[in-house]
Amino acid sequence: MASGATLATVFSACGGSPTSPSGMASKLGVLSGRFTGSGIQVNVSGSALADVGGAVLVESTAGVFLLARTSASAFSAIEAVCTHEGCTITGTDGATYVCPCHGSRYNRSGQVLAGPARASLRQYATTFTDGIVTIAL
Ligand code: FES
């Protein structure tokens, strides 16, 4: 059984940092995705995805995804579950996704830029028609 002194030491080591692990990341906007059975449909109008470079967190009954607009007609979709310990990635810093739990950073293709995560996020194919992005599952 841990003594009070040991717990105090552990708490101090974890909580003593003056900055959050996610640094200067800002929070991604959230869009609802519609699960169709074979994919997730996301309406981009009026969201951050209306502009090239924009990114959002997509929530759906089939999971959570990071969706970014990479050109007028192309999007990148990756799983939003951090490969470190499973937190949902909710932060963005420029073109970098940032995990709020321990600060892992990923690029828009899901590759790790900074740990503690070591494995890439899974990427999904997308199609774009009439203002609707479909993430193929
Ligand atoms: S769960 Fe994402 S960095 Fe630890």
Residue 14 corresponds to which tokens in the numbers above? 């974890």
Say which amino acid occupies 48: A
The pTM of this model reads 0.82
- 66 C-alpha to center of ligand 1: Å? 15
Q: Which of 29, 19, 37 is nearest to 80 (CA)?
A: 29
Ligand 1 environment, Cβ below 6 A: 82, 84-85, 87, 99, 101-104, 116-117
Angle at 27 between CA 25 and CA 28, to 5 degrees: 120
Q: Which residue is associated with the tokens 């009954």?
A: 61
pLDDT at 10: 41
Q: Which atom of ligand 1 lies closest to the CA of 100?
A: 2
Cα–Cα distance measured from residue 56 to residue 119, given in angstroms and rounded to the nearest whole number: 21
Domains parsed from the chain with CATH numbers: 4-136 (2.102.10.10)
pLDDT at 25: 86
pLDDT at 2: 43
Cα–Cα distance measured from residue 90 to residue 103, given in angstroms and rounded to the nearest whole number: 11
pLDDT at 23: 60
- What parts of the chain have a pLDDT lower than 50? 1-19
